[in-house]
Chain A
Amino acid sequence: MRLSPRRIKEFIIERLIFASGIASILFVALIFVFLLREGIAVLRTTGLLSFLGGKFWYPISDPARLGILPLILGSLVVTLGAILIAVPLGISAAFYIAEIAPIRLRNILKSFVEILAAIPSVVLGFLGIKILVPFLKNFLGLPTGLTALAGSIMLAFMAMPTIISISEDAINAVPREYKEGALALGATHWQTLHRVVLHGALPGIIAAVMLGIGRVFGETMAVMMVTGNAAVIPHGLLQPVRTLTATIAAEMGEAAKGSPHYSALFAIGIVLFVISFLINLTADLFLNKSRGRTR
């Protein structure tokens, strides 16, 4: 068979399409390899256990102490606070938008959620410093408003668009028959919502919460600007903390290339990468489950 120019052109294009298709795999692998390339040295200089479990992060003392336990706990405290705020609010808002609001109001509310999702994190951090931090300081009578709580409130607003829109999809995906059945049995609209629809939408809502957690855990700028950045083991929401992400962003500029500090920052990147991978994987399993159940 003779190859016409059209055939050759198509062959090339289809190769390009395939190459682009697998590019995502390549990029994930590249991210992991290049984090590892710079970060692996921490095993030699600090050791895995004293890196993950070390209670002191003094990167510029001599010798440097590079334990990230305070940073891990800082991230956990801020994330937990954010989730406690964002989950009840987000799921309730999703129910209101999906089930109660009339269609015109629904569209308006959805565009508000989209605007919230679009606000750059550095702008939220800026307003956090200007408005939220002084407010918390005066309202709670704290020595400083730059606390884990400020970070949690900021992050709750960054997680809410994710939680609301994915929960809303899950609620809309509950088959009509479930609802109609409940209403026909004499249940009120409210009983139908919290006994039937909530149950049907649960896997999707769990996925929404997981993705919200992923968003919060990896968020950098807003949290760095409002949490006060004290790398000590946190004992509550009302004191300054420092997260894993903020540590990288704040210190990479000063770390000398190739120093133990530099590789420790990359190793923190590996920790973040692995955690986000696990969170997203779990969320995806729940999403597939929710799709499988309703279709």
Chain B
Amino acid sequence: MKNEIVKQKIGFGLLLLAVLLVVIPVLCIVGLLLFRGAGALSWQFLFTMPREGMRAGGIFPAIVGTFYLVIASLIFALPIGVLAAIYLSEYARDNALTRLINLSIINLAGVSSVVYGLFGLSLFVVFLKFGVSIISGALTLGIMTLPVIITTTREALQAVPRAYREVSFSLGASRWQTVRHAVLPRALPGILTGTILSVGRVAGETAPILFTVAAFYLPQLPASLSDQVMALPYHLYIITTQIPGIPEKARYGTALVLIGLVLIVNISASILRAKYRKAK
């Protein structure tokens, strides 16, 4: 028996070691970016145009570009995603069509991000002649983020107790009235969480925008949906690998702004989710 207890101690020790090997690098990543990037953050870095082939000046157009892409892709993906989740949760029967839809969602979630880039190039940029533009990039990113929105919204809808629907039906409400007035309001925080998570995903992706929207160096703000824009993740990629002589501070600063943005978005999603769970 003593032998077994020693074994247990060793086993638990190994599991703890594994956790530490996951957690410590995360701490190091965030800590290092803060330590080396915080010094670069200034009003001028965040809110002015890049100058001298990006070796000086700020990253304002990349921040604005990412903001536009997030908003435009959500305008496209949010209604489709939420309605699709309503279909799957409230209307769909357990039949071949539903299984096919579920399979498609799983597949959309698994497609490589660079394949989305190819798809966007082929359909939006070339075939539909939208060109390399915000609209092409946003549609590509929107389709990529659909599975996130659909799955989280469906979970939120299914977490609403059956009784709400039954009461509504028994009062003579139609199916849509039930969804609209009895189910959706209760699921709203969950839907919001999913939306915020998809914002984080869209803001951080590089590969889907490579051939559909991203501009290498464009020190001006976009005037319309058919303009190219700079975007934070692509900007970080090119100043890291394509252009020599960029000050290290600017690289770490850009990485910090990007990860800061994504983490703020994710943390607000978890706070929202925690509050919502408590309220229930």
Contacts and interface: CB of A to CB of B under 8 A. Distances in A.
A30 B114 contact: no
Interface string A248-263: 1100110001000000
Q: Which of B15, B84, B121 has the most CB of A within 10 A?
A: B15
Contacts of B108: 24, 27-28
Interface in B167-224: 174-177, 200, 203-207, 210-211
A124 B262 CA distance: 13
Contact of B119 (A34, A95, A157, A280): A34
B84 A23 contact: yes
Contacts of B259: 119-120, 123
Interface stretch (A51-59, A62-70, A214-222): A214-222
Interface stretch (B67-75, B87-95, B156-164): B87-95
A188 B7 CA distance: 10
Given A14-B91, A34-B127, A190-B8, A218 B266 contact: no
Contact of A24 (B22, B30, B104, B204): B104
A24 B18 contact: no
Interface stretch (A137-145, A176-184, A266-274): A266-274
Contacts of B64: none
A164 B22 contact: yes
Contacts of B207: 220-221, 245, 249
Interface stretch (A76-84, A110-118, A234-242): A110-118
Contacts of B236: 122-123, 126
Contacts, number: 258
Interface string A218-231: 11110001000000
B266 A284 contact: no
A120 B205 contact: yes
Interface on chain B toward A: helix, strand, loop, or mixed SS?
A: helix
A125 B237 CA distance: 8
Interface string A1-25: 0000000001001101111111111
Contacts of A100: 12, 15-16
A276 B112 contact: yes
Contacts of B251: 126, 130
Nearest to B16: A96
B30 A17 contact: no
A252 B117 CA distance: 10
Q: Which of A28, A38, A188, A193 has the most CB of B within 10 A?
A: A28
A133 to B, nearest CB: 12
Contacts of A41: none
B56 interface: no
Nearest to A21: B87
Contacts of A277: 107, 110
Nearest to A279: B110
A252 B121 contact: yes
A122 B237 contact: yes
Interface in A180-226: 188-191, 193-194, 211, 214, 217-221, 225
A14 B12 CA distance: 54
A120 B258 contact: yes
Interface string A27-41: 110110011011000
A160 interface: yes
Contacts of B23: 109, 112
A172 interface: no
B4 interface: yes
Interface in B75-113: 79-84, 86-88, 91-92, 97, 100-101, 103-113
Contacts of B127: 34, 37
5 contacts: A37-B127, A92-B15, A92-B17, A129-B241, A218-B115
Given A92-B14, A123-B258, A280-B109, 15 more contacts: A10-B174, A20-B83, A25-B101, A30-B119, A35-B119, A38-B126, A90-B18, A92-B17, A93-B18, A115-B266, A116-B26, A119-B204, A188-B5, A190-B12, A280-B106
